[in-house]
Amino acid sequence: MRTAKPRRRVLLSSASVFPEPLDAAFELAHELGYDGLEVMIWGDPASQDAAAIAELIQVAQLPVGSVHAPCLLITARVWGTEPGPKLTKSVRLAHQIGARTVVVHPPFRWQSRYAREFAAGVRALERQSGRVIAVENMFPARVGARGVSAYAPHWDVTRGPFEHLTLDTSHTSVARCDSAEMLARMGERLAHVHLADGTGKGTDEHLVPGRGSSGCDRVLHALPASFTGDVVVEVSTRNLDRERRAADLAEALRFARTHLAAPPPS
């Protein structure tokens, strides 16, 4: 006899409404029926301000389940240039707004000191803060037929000594690896999911799930019973107007809820 799956929260990443500001993400999440948000910390001042986020939480009556530390190249100067203090500030912000999870990328290879101290620093921050710091899988740069990792110890974070991991299904597409297989290798360390599709063409597309070949449906079906994290829609709508952006985000939410509710394969 099949048992019903537990209901997972589906959050909207504020990156999904770029270039609109954070208040637009809250507005769309509320209108479309998302369970909450993930706040990407970047140039938008509101995304860096706990009081501003708390006000948006109150107005929209939606929680923030996670924050994404400013570790992208486009956020290189947000909160300074030193990656360690930026992660510490992200954890502090998460604590202030009641977010359980902080998403962070593995260090770049040229951040040698940060890379040496990263794993131990993450463990210490988790113990001190009570937050889950989930390190996200990335992808190699392509040099001809070769893949070269810009990350230390590796773009495949399952090779690192991290207690909590984020699975990003757009990144697995760029890396040309199987999303469901990576989920299986993450095992009980899986703490968070970024849901987006890709076609494997070598760029980080962040397509609406179902429009590519990343196997987003298989990932959602395969989430283990032990998974207590959130599924976050993190798609690119940057070239769309508000009406088409809302339509894409509604489609992504339907996809996530449909496949999360599907019974496990027999």
- Write the CATH number for 62: 3.20.20.150
Q: Is residue 17 part of a domain?
A: yes
Is 33 inside any structural domain? Answer: yes
Task: Classify residue 5: in a domain, yes or no.
Answer: no
34 within a domain of the structure (yes/no): yes
d(CA 52, CA 75): 19
Domain contains 37:
yes
Whether 266 is covered by a domain: the verdict is no
CA distance 85 to 149: 24
Tens of pLDDT, residue by residue, the chain (266 residues): 345 566 899 999 999 999 999 999 999 999 999 999 999 999 999 999 999 999 999 999 999 999 999 988 888 889 988 999 999 999 999 999 999 999 999 999 999 999 999 999 999 999 999 999 999 999 987 655 566 778 999 999 999 999 999 999 999 999 999 999 999 999 999 999 999 999 988 789 999 999 999 999 999 999 998 899 999 999 999 999 999 999 999 999 999 999 999 876 55
Q: How many domains does the chain have?
A: 1
